[in-house]
């Protein structure tokens, strides 16, 4: 994860740390490298530009030029700015409803169904919740079956309705079932398409209206780089979602999505998926992610 970005940043800071005293020119050169590294990691242009401008202002403002260890101080400034770029603090999901309703949205293949299972598993094991999963991808029997298999694996019930191909009614019925049967969280999986289309957006907007979710989570594949950010924007314009689950961070992702989503969409990443297993889901901590990026 982020190997390329980490390597590039490490190289440019090494040069800087090698200098006893640094000049404004050293800072400018380092920031040029940082910006190039970010663009190379698929961070969008505007985000990378603002980022380096902020770092420069902070560096000059905190008098890096006269610091005893200017290189270390620059690394710290970049670290804090990276954490800030990813939202600063970690943000929890809202589970105030009784039952709390969580709606999962995203493109097909993003990891929606897998993460519906992972989230239920986490809420059950770490928060002592009793979740119910709703198999809302009614068009794909394989998706319903996939959720049932996951549910069985983690010991969480899955709500389905044989022959019902109306996802809005299914979601409503699922929430009603949860209410009358003592479940305290309902996670509604939904159908995705390979690309954003009007029908999918209308459908998920209708589900949102029907079940008034406490939390809408947009699930996105971190390997898709700038596309991840564009898709997030389209979903957010339509759904005004509450948070993001960034998936497949265990793969060879360049990191752009993790770094850009927050600043472009202004919604926090709340969880990151780190593998196919049901326990491979972590709460997202911007500062820890910045630690990882800087190695």
Footprint of ligand GDP on this chain (CB under 6 A)? Answer: 106, 108-114, 192, 247-248, 250-251, 273-276, 280
- In whole angstroms, what is the distance from residue 259 CA to residue 43 CA? 6
Cβ 78 to ligand GDP shortest distance, Å: 27
- The backbone torsions φ and ψ at residue 275, rounded to the nearest 5 degrees and listed phi first, read 155, 175
State yes or no: 189 annotated in a binding site.
Answer: yes
- In whole angstroms, what is the distance from residue 103 CA to residue 175 CA? 11
Nearer to ligand GDP, 13 or 159 (CB): 159
Nearer to ligand GDP, 71 or 273 (CB): 273
DSSP strands (E only) in 153-242: 157-159, 185-190, 215-221
- In whole angstroms, what is the distance from residue 41 CA to residue 238 CA? 27
Nearer to ligand GDP, 137 or 184 (CB): 137
State yes or no: 39 annotated in a binding site.
Answer: no
Cβ 136 to ligand GDP shortest distance, Å: 11
Angle between helices 3-17 and 286-294 (to 10 degrees): 70
Nearer to ligand GDP, 11 or 277 (CB): 277
State yes or no: 17 annotated in a binding site.
Answer: no
264 contacts: CB under 8 Å, gap ≥ 6? 44, 47, 229, 232, 233
Q: Which residue, among 232, 283, 237, 288, has the nearest Cα to 260 in the 3D structure?
A: 232
State yes or no: 33 annotated in a binding site.
Answer: no
Cβ 49 to ligand GDP shortest distance, Å: 30
State yes or no: 249 annotated in a binding site.
Answer: yes
Cβ 170 to ligand GDP shortest distance, Å: 16
Residue 109, Cα to own-chain centre: how many angstroms?
A: 15
Cβ 257 to ligand GDP shortest distance, Å: 13
- In whole angstroms, what is the distance from residue 136 CA to residue 166 CA? 9
- The backbone torsions φ and ψ at residue 281, rounded to the nearest 5 degrees and listed phi first, read -140, 130
Nearer to ligand GDP, 12 or 253 (CB): 253
State yes or no: 122 annotated in a binding site.
Answer: no
Alpha-carbon torsion, ordered 283, 284, 287, 288, to 10 deg: 60
State yes or no: 250 annotated in a binding site.
Answer: yes
Nearer to ligand GDP, 155 or 251 (CB): 251
- In whole angstroms, what is the distance from residue 238 CA to residue 233 CA? 9
State yes or no: 171 annotated in a binding site.
Answer: no
Cβ 250 to ligand GDP shortest distance, Å: 5
- In whole angstroms, what is the distance from residue 271 CA to residue 217 CA? 9
Q: Which residue ranges are tagged as binding site for GTP? A: 106-113, 189-193, 247-250
Q: Which residue ranges are tagged as binding site? A: 106-113, 189-193, 247-250
């Amino acid at each position: 994860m982020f190997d390329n970005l980490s390597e590039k940043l490490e190289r440019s800071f090494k040069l800087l740390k090698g200098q006893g005293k640094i000049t404004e020119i050293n800072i400018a050169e380092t920031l040029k490298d940082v910006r190039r590294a970010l663009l190379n990691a698929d961070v969008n242009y505007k985000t990378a530009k603002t980022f380096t401008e902020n770092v420069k202002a902070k560096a000059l403002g905190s008098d890096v030029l006269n610091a005893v260890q200017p290189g270390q101080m620059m690394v710290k400034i970049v670290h804090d700015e990276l954490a800030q770029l990813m939202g600063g603090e970690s943000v929890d999901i809202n589970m105030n409803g009784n039952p709390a309703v969580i709606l999962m949205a995203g493109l097909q293949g993003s990891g929606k169904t897998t993460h519906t299972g992972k989230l239920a598993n986490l809420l059950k094991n770490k928060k002592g919740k009793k979740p119910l999963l709703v198999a809302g991808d009614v068009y794909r029997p394989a998706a319903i079956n996939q959720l049932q298999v996951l549910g069985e694996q983690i010991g969480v019930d899955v709500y389905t309705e044989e022959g019902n191909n109306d996802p809005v009614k299914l979601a409503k019925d699922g929430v009603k079932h949860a209410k009358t049967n003592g479940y305290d969280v309902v996670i509604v999986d939904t159908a995705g398409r390979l690309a954003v289309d009007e029908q999918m957006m209308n459908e998920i907007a209708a589900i949102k209206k029907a079940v008034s979710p406490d939390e809408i989570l947009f699930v996105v594949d971190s390997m898709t780089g700038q596309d991840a950010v564009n898709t997030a924007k389209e979903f957010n314009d339509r759904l005004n979602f509450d948070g993001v689950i960034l998936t497949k961070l265990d793969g060879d992702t360049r990191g752009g999505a993790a770094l850009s989503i927050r600043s472009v969409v202004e919604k926090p990443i709340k969880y990151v998926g780190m593998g196919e297993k049901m326990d491979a889901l972590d709460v997202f901590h911007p500062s820890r992610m910045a630690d990882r990026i800087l190695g």
